[in-house]
Amino acid sequence: EIVMTQSPATLSVSPGERETLSCRASQSVGSNLAWYQQKPGQAPRLLIYGASTRATGIPARFSGSGSGTEFTLTISSLQSEDFAVYYCQQYNDWGEWTFGQGTKVEI
Amino acid sequence: QITLKESGRTLVKPTQTLTLTCSFSGFSLTTGGVGVGWIRQPPGKALEWVALVYWDDDKRYSPSLKTRLTITKDTSENLVVLIMTNLDPVDTATYYCVYSQGSRTAPGAIDYWGQGTLVTVSS
């Protein structure tokens, strides 16, 4: 089983700042890495797939990069609506998905 | 427009069996590459993949839950059913039904999520 490790667990930031979240895979997942945003009481929402492709309707301030085992999600200028928990997920193994433990972005 | 909705008992006693149904619309589970799965999330904790069924009836289960799970699909009714046996309080979680599309050479991420249903395991 591929283990996904996210860091940090919590990020305390101010609106307008640029922040980078990290995700590491225990073995290569190629570019089969997605990022999701989850707000309290809501289902997660797909932000990035293929490590760097924004999903439909996702603002350009969200960007993803990386391949293999190291990945990052960057939010270029944090807006109030971006305070949430962010999860990475590998889907490289057909029919076996794993998620990271999440990074909470708080004010 | 793709939608998924979970239904089932929300309060289950320990050792009992849980049956969850995912009703979906906007796609067919006979289309090549389509998969419908279940993700769960204990209160205040991270997401955990549970099970998946693909258009060709390929079924996959979380290794840690495999012995307790059965997933089936009904393509005529647009339903996916998850059965989990021998429930324990640690199975208390919100269970999400999800949609993915890809191929064995180019797997897909989770494009759509249901709203989730909170299942509580308690005596």
Return the DSSP state at A103: E
**pLDDT at residue A94 tops 90:** no
**Residue B111 with chain A: CB contacts under 8 Å:** 46, 55
**pLDDT at residue A107 tops 90:** no
Report the gap between the CA of B16 and the closest CA in chain A (Å).
26
- Please state, in angstroms and rounded to a whole number, the distance separating the CA atoms of residues B3 and B27: 9
Report the gap between the CA of A30 and the closest CA in chain B (Å).
11
Nearest to B110 among A32, A46, A101 (CB): A46
**Residue A100 with chain B: CB contacts under 8 Å:** 46
Residues of chain A in Cβ contact (below 8 Å) with chain B: 1, 32, 34, 36, 43-46, 49-50, 55, 87, 89, 91-102
**Residue A102 with chain B: CB contacts under 8 Å:** 46-47
Rounded percentage of chain A residues whose pLDDT exceeds 90? 95
pLDDT of residue B105: 86
Write out the two tokens for A77.
């200028």
Write out the two tokens for B102.
């890809």
Describe chain B by its helix, strand, coil percentages, rounded to 5.
5, 50, 45
Contact B63 A32 (CB under 8 A): no
pLDDT of residue A21: 98
Q: What distances in angstroms separate CA A66 from CA A22, A34, B107, one per listed residue?
A: 10, 11, 17
pLDDT of residue B40: 98
pLDDT of residue B104: 85
**Residue A94 with chain B: CB contacts under 8 Å:** 104, 107
CB contact at 8 A, B111 and A46: yes
Each residue's pLDDT tens digit, B26-50: 999 999 999 999 999 999 999 999 9
Each residue's pLDDT tens digit, B58-111: 999 999 999 999 999 999 999 999 999 999 999 999 999 999 999 888 889 999
**In the structure, what pLDDT confidence band is assigned to residue A56 with cuts at 50, 70 and 90?**
very high
Q: Least CA distance to B5: which residue of chain A?
A: A43
CA B24 to chain centroid, in Å, comes to 12
Nearest to A87 among B46, B52, B108 (CB): B46
Each residue's pLDDT tens digit, A60-84: 999 999 999 999 999 999 999 999 9
Contact A91 B60 (CB under 8 A): no
Per-residue three-class SS string for A29-64: CCCCEEEEEECCCCCCEEEEECCCEECCCCCCCEEE
Rounded percentage of chain B residues whose pLDDT exceeds 70? 100
pLDDT of residue B81: 98
